[in-house]
Amino acid sequence: MSKSLLELKKLVMHFPAGKNQVVRAVDNIDLSVIEGEVLGLVGESGSGKSTIAYTVMGMYNQTDGEIVFDGDVYTSSDKRNKDFHRKAQIVFQDPGSSLNPYQDVRTILSLPLKVHKIVPRNEIDNKILEILETVELPSNFMYKSPNAIGGGEKQLVAIARAICSDPKFIVLDEPTSSLDVSIQAKIINMLMGLKEKNNLTYIFITHDLAVIRNVSNRVAVMYLGKICELSPTEEFYAEPLHPYSQMLLSAIPVVSEEEEKLKPAEVKSVGEVPSPVDIPLGCSFNTRCKYVQPKCLEVDPEMKEVKPGHFVRCHLYSDE
Amino acid sequence: MNSNNLQHDSAVLKKSWIKTSTKENLKIYWYNFRRNKLSLIGLIIVLICISLALFPQLFARYPAHVEAFVDYSNASKGPSSEFWFGTDNYGRDIYTRVIYSFRGALVMAIVVLAISVPIGTTLGLIAGYFQGTIVDTIIMRLTDIFLAIPPLILAMSIASLLEPNMTNTMIAITVSWWPWYTRLVYTNAASHSQEYYVKNAELIGASTPHVLFKEVLPNCMSPILTKMALDVGWVIIQTASLSFVGLGEQPPHPAFGQMISDGSNYLPEQWWQTIFPALAIIFLVLGFNFVGDGIRDMFDKGSQS
Amino acid sequence: MSKEKLLDIQDLRVWFKTYRGYSKVLDGVNFHVNQKEKVGLVGESGCGKTTTMKAALRLLEGTSASIREGSKVQFSGQDVLSMDNDELLDYRRNHVSMISQSPMSALNPVFTIGEQMMDVVKYSDRVKSGNTKEMEEVIVEAVNSVMIPDPARIMKSYPHQLSGGMRQRICIATALVKPCELLIADEPGTALDVTVEAQINDILRKLVDEGDSSLVMITHSLGVVRDLVDKIYVMYAGEIVEIAPTKELFHNPRHPYTEGLLASVPRLTGGGLSAGIYGYVPDYFDPPSGCRFANRCKYCTDDCLKEKPPMVEVSPGHFVTCIRWQ
């Protein structure tokens, strides 16, 4: 059994929202990421997928629960050490706002090199050229400002920045969602190539299930702060178990008939998305689920391993 | 890959690339600046004022009139071909004295800003970045205290403790000036600290000084520079107000406020003694205000395509 | 089915003035929508699709954009570019509606939904009598047709109190309260979740099928238009490169760009991703004199670089702007 690089144990992240209200962005998550895999984290807005990413990276201190990364345990009061920052990196969704418009590419890339003393000062420029070559950007990008380059190239710079410190683990928060389809393929192929070459582990966050189908080893579907379904990729697409997973898959726009056949029969949302401060009792999906039973309104289902490695949190499967 | 090749590449290509990217940025700034005609007019005015401050002797007609000089035969004469702005009641050429006042005004503005802006900005950066913590509270309450003190009262207190002269007035204005920058930078820094590139720098493990000065500060520069340009005008008006009540540049060396004060005794008959120094202030302040507008437009990333 | 041209854009050229000179974005766009037709305008970011529609509604005035000589935009036979103020107002109020990408910025945060929709009804010709009660009924009907529960409560709410999906539906409802022959939807699902976007597209399809209006759907996603429109215009770098009925486009793409675009879409069937389309969009400040896609095209020949390829009819209703379409 491969070693798990990252483990989330009963992770909780609540944000205060006005008088006596709390946004339960991440609600009691148990998840582990195996070294060398690509874990796809899928969900819509408000699902908590980005919050998990930020909490893991240390941008927020979790409300409760433990984060274990490469042997180090982080509780809600621990700060990440420098070693963590070297081994774990993040690529944000919008390259426009993740690159400082007042810095050129050279300054941006030299920061991680300097902070972690990857190379001596006089070799920084060479290392930067090397990294630019790795992400297939021309060397004259060194002195370009982010304003002068396109979205796809900006994202490549962000990826280059992430690999500067020679990390083991990268969180990719919707890395291609703001990019055109023709550039998306290039970026994703680049990311997969880097993974193989540098032996990286990824959490790939996205709402695009078609992308996940092609990049990840396992898929975790999130809804309102909880994981609904966790499964190896092929099995998930062959047989999605959770009603929300089915709804997501049936809503994806596809471009060919073969894909149409793979989609589950159209599952329409029969209600509104609840507000994150007012999550319904019982199963949080009960306002939109077409299989809703009285039990779903009262009891929150537990995560159950229905097949080896395939977990679902739904009353439809917990009665067996 | 041959590392020697890379070294050669980077050295040779560096120069041409730096030139292109800096030139590119400057071109954008200049284009945005000159789009508004008033900014260009302001720029010309400012350049004139700077020339007057640097080389008054080239423009003035009677340099001796700036020091202790008396010539009652020419006293209180109106504007003429001999004395373009007329004379005061000591017979001194008002035109010359106005020209020589530019230097004092600009020096005052430069010194005050050179000291108060770095102090105010740094405090604002720290308070904004640590918004919500005790550091924020301490700095901002201190700022509030200093903002509550009227500059005039402060200057007069300092003058009564020490002597009234240019240096002490400078100190007084500086002390009352830095809080405005703290306030300005505070809001900017607080919002920019939430930007993803700042977060990313933190997640890379950068030190706090680096984050403050290399990541957050550059984004706050635009309002700071704009305010500085407008503040030149404000400091000068403040200086004039203080020298109007006798604090600041002491006679016989001229200063705008002082000249207006002296001349006000002879209004409205000898209007030239007051009007010309006042017009000079207006000229100077307008020029910097227009330039300030231009600077604000310059950084306006919204108008860049 | 009427084949009358509703919106007819011919040889539209739009240039933007910047510090570097003129950005020649649109260079001769030909686009038309017939009555009761659903048309998709597909292209990636920066290709000029929103600019084309904005030019057709004359929303570009006052910006740095200029519509060059020789461009023609006609609506129901009337020349749009030379309309006077009154005609333009009537055109915008009673004939065309546009739903923009971001429902957040389309709604005014300081007015309630009801007030905003009432304004739209008031200034259109929908309720000629000026009777407030009638207007309210029209509004409620529109809100119901976009499947929003409890219209009365929504009318009293402010935009920030609604979710993104609801706001976008309100924008659609706002487009419906006035008489509208042409509905332009500019990437209505971009800011929304996938399930909500599916809902919105369903609503749009139903409304257009049941009503009398035509639809122009602007998007970068081929998958979205596949279920929605009858005819697709593919746009690249300010030019229309391919026009085809929907099924035909997916089965038989003739332009290299369309081909590359379809290949780049990640598939649910798995099998990894294609390499995307090599190269970058041309510089609008100095556009190539030949085909604008030439530098990225794997079928490119010398002739392609010499002059702009003409639009050729490959099969009935299927047009391509390419000399290598065989």
- E-strand spans in A179-318? 201-206, 218-223, 226-232, 304-307, 310-312
Higher pLDDT, C147 or C97: C97
Q: How many CB atoms lie within 10 A of CB B48?
A: 15
Segment A140-144 mean pLDDT: 85
Q: What is the pLDDT of residue B149?
A: 85
Q: What is the pLDDT of residue A319?
A: 62
Which domain, by its residues, includes A78?
Answer: 4-318
Strand partners, C29: C12
Segment A129-150 mean pLDDT: 87
**Considering the domain boundaries, does residue C148 fall inside one?**
no
Inter-residue contact A311 to A304 (CB < 8 Å)? yes
Q: What is the pLDDT of residue B1?
A: 44
A287-296, B1-10, B65-74: lowest mean pLDDT where?
Answer: B1-10
**Considering the domain boundaries, does residue B123 fall inside one?**
yes
| Integer angstrom CA distances of residue B206 from B7, B202, B259 | 27, 5, 54
Number of domains making up chain A = 1
A213 contacts C272? CB cut-off 8 A:
no
The two structure tokens encoding residue C248: 């035909």
B305 contacts C18? CB cut-off 8 A:
yes
Rounded to a whole number of angstroms, the distance from the CA of A37 to the nearest CA of chain C is 16
Rounded to a whole number of angstroms, the distance from the CA of B125 to the nearest CA of chain A is 17
Which domain, by its residues, includes B298?
Answer: 23-303
**Considering the domain boundaries, does residue B224 fall inside one?**
yes
Higher pLDDT, A284 or A41: A41
**For C44, which of A182, A185, A248 is closest by C-beta distance?**
A182
CA dist C307 and C309 (Å) reads 6
Q: Which of B14, B26, B204 is the best mutation test for A, with the most CBs of A within 10 A?
A: B204
Q: What is the pLDDT of residue C1?
A: 43
Segment B253-261 mean pLDDT: 87
Enclosing H/E stretch for C73: strand C72-75
A144 CB within 8 Å of a chain B CB? yes
Structure confidence at residue B2 as a pLDDT band (50, 70, 90): very low
**Considering the domain boundaries, does residue C230 fall inside one?**
yes
C309: domain CATH number? 3.40.50.300
Question: Is pLDDT of C183 > 60?
Answer: yes
A69: domain CATH number? 3.40.50.300
Question: Is pLDDT of C2 > 70?
Answer: no
**Considering the domain boundaries, does residue B13 fall inside one?**
no
Higher pLDDT, A7 or B246: A7
**Considering the domain boundaries, does residue B10 fall inside one?**
no
**Considering the domain boundaries, does residue B7 fall inside one?**
no
Question: Is pLDDT of B238 > 80?
Answer: yes
CA dist C212 and C2 (Å) reads 11
Q: What is the pLDDT of residue B134?
A: 94
Number of domains making up chain C = 1
% pLDDT > 90, chain B: 34
Question: Is pLDDT of A169 > 90?
Answer: yes
B4-18, B67-81, B164-178: lowest mean pLDDT where?
Answer: B4-18
Structure confidence at residue B9 as a pLDDT band (50, 70, 90): low
B160: domain CATH number? 1.10.3720.10
**Considering the domain boundaries, does residue C20 fall inside one?**
yes
**Considering the domain boundaries, does residue B41 fall inside one?**
yes
Nearest to C124 by CA among C55, C174, C57: C174
A260-269, B8-17, B204-213, C65-74: lowest mean pLDDT where?
Answer: B8-17
Find chain B residues with C-beta within 8 A of A58's C-beta: 203
Nearest to C195 by CA among A197, A64, A207: A207
**Considering the domain boundaries, does residue C91 fall inside one?**
yes
Q: What is the pLDDT of residue A202?
A: 95
Number of domains making up chain B = 1
**Considering the domain boundaries, does residue C261 fall inside one?**
yes
Question: Is pLDDT of A128 > 50?
Answer: yes
Which domain, by its residues, includes C251?
Answer: 5-95+181-321
Question: Is pLDDT of A37 > 90?
Answer: yes
My answer on whether omega of the bond before C159 falls inside 30° of 0, hence cis, is no
C273 contacts A185? CB cut-off 8 A:
yes
A94 contacts B196? CB cut-off 8 A:
yes
Kindly report the length of chain B.
305
Nearest residue of chain C to residue A46 (CA atoms): C193
Nearest to B124 by CA among B179, B206, B193, B192: B179
Segment A217-236 mean pLDDT: 92
Report the Cα A95 to chain-centroid distance in Å: 16
Classify residue A302 by its DSSP letter.
P
| Mean pLDDT for all residues in chain C | 84
Segment C115-138 mean pLDDT: 83
B214 CB within 8 Å of a chain C CB? no
| Mean pLDDT for all residues in chain B | 85
Nearest residue of chain A to residue C261 (CA atoms): A182
Question: Is pLDDT of C146 > 50?
Answer: yes
Q: What is the pLDDT of residue B22?
A: 66
Segment C195-219 mean pLDDT: 85
Rounded to a whole number of angstroms, the distance from the CA of A155 to the nearest CA of chain B is 12
Write out residues 27-66 of A within 8 Å (CB-CB) of C. Answer: 44-45
